[in-house]
Amino acid sequence: MPQLEASATVPLSPAEAFALAHSVGDERAAWDPSVATAKWLRGATGPSAGAALFTKSRNGRRRILRFELVDPDRLSSARLIKGQSQLADYGEGIRIEPVDGGSSITWKVVYKVRSPLAAPTVGRLLQPVFERELHSRLAAFVAAARGRAGTGQRPSRFDPDPSDD
């Protein structure tokens, strides 16, 4: 399965970075360029093993992720349980470690194309799409974290160009 990874350092404590990374509702839509809507399902109120998260992207793609592993303020791992029919498997993981002045966050994405015959071609086509999305989301997360650290507030909207501030 292809694995993609991106890392950055943010000026938030691990607890603050973890909370921002797992935010839902307007807060998530404000910073995550790929999410228009995010909400916990089936009584879940936050990331925990077995919790389900629904997301709808800005382009209309819907998916449900189930959290398999959660170590609060440190890491989480979730697997796709519904959505993206071209994929046999998809997972996202976040690892957060304390560093001087904040936290290091690493986002990882793994996926497997459903059709074994089409996998080489479809996999090559999907990889740059997933890479762009991963890096775009991480850049937006960093901008939101910097904004939160500077003001103590959540961002009011997604700003794709954090250099404007």
**What is this structure's pTM?**
0.84
Residue tagged 């998809």 (tokens): 90
pLDDT at 152 (0 to 100): 59
User: φ, ψ for residue 157 (rounded to 5)?
Assistant: -160, 165
pLDDT at 151 (0 to 100): 66
| Angle between helix 119-151 and 14-21 (nearest 10) | 130
The better pLDDT of the pair 92, 158 is held by 92
**pLDDT mean over 93-100:** 97
Mean pLDDT of the residues in the chain: 87
Report domain extents, the chain.
Answer: 3-152
Q: What is the rounded radius of gyration, in angstroms, for the C-alpha atoms of the chain?
A: 16
Q: What CATH fold (topology level) applies to the domain 3-152? A: Alpha-D-Glucose-1,6-Bisphosphate; Chain A, domain 4 (3.30.530)
